[in-house]
Amino acid sequence: MPHSTEHSKQQPTASEQPFSNKQVTEAISATRAEMAEVRCPVRFSMEMIGDKWTLLIIRDMVLFQACRYGELQQSLGDISTNILANRLKQLVEKGLIEKFKDPDDGKSAIYLLTNKGLDLLPVLGHLIRWGIQYDEHSALPTQAQDILKNSQDFLTERKVYLTQQRARLQKK
């Protein structure tokens, strides 16, 4: 028998072959039918946080304790006043933040994260870590790094603090 130096090509197994258009279409149809009566959690989450400004507002409220309109505008830098006002209104409507009258200035408001908003901290932490990993120009202030390292403790402490602040502001 002659010895062949060429390697014979092996056909990929069924599990290695890409899905056919028909398989993909069937999988999508089956999933849509299964999910017809419920909402996709990714869709819901994206409807809640929506765009970059929403998460950046929450970031600054969590990491830098910005709670007044002016503080948020200063920390965010390049956000227009109408976008900031709109996002704050949406965050209140969605239950991610609460708006209180500022006891020191009756014309101003103080915005505090609700527990629902504060529960986005782990998501924010994952986004920060992902950004640092894939963007060589990304960095994080030391204060924020410390918060993320101890995020569970921080989350618990922050919820207690915000509960106390809400109670104090509701009394005034």
CATH 1.10.10.10 fits 41-171, yes or no: yes
Angle at CA of residue 17, ends 14 and 23, nearest 5°: 90
| Residue 73 near residue 61 (C-beta atoms within 8 A) | no
pLDDT at 1 over 60: no
Average pLDDT on 80-97 reads: 96
Segments making up each domain of the chain, as ranges:
41-171
pLDDT computed for residue 28 by the predictor: 77
Which residues fall within 8 angstroms of residue 26, CB to CB, at 6 or more apart? Answer: none
Full-model pTM: 0.74
Share of the chain above pLDDT 90, in %: 31
In 10 A of CB 62, how many CB atoms? 23
pLDDT computed for residue 13 by the predictor: 58
pLDDT computed for residue 10 by the predictor: 61
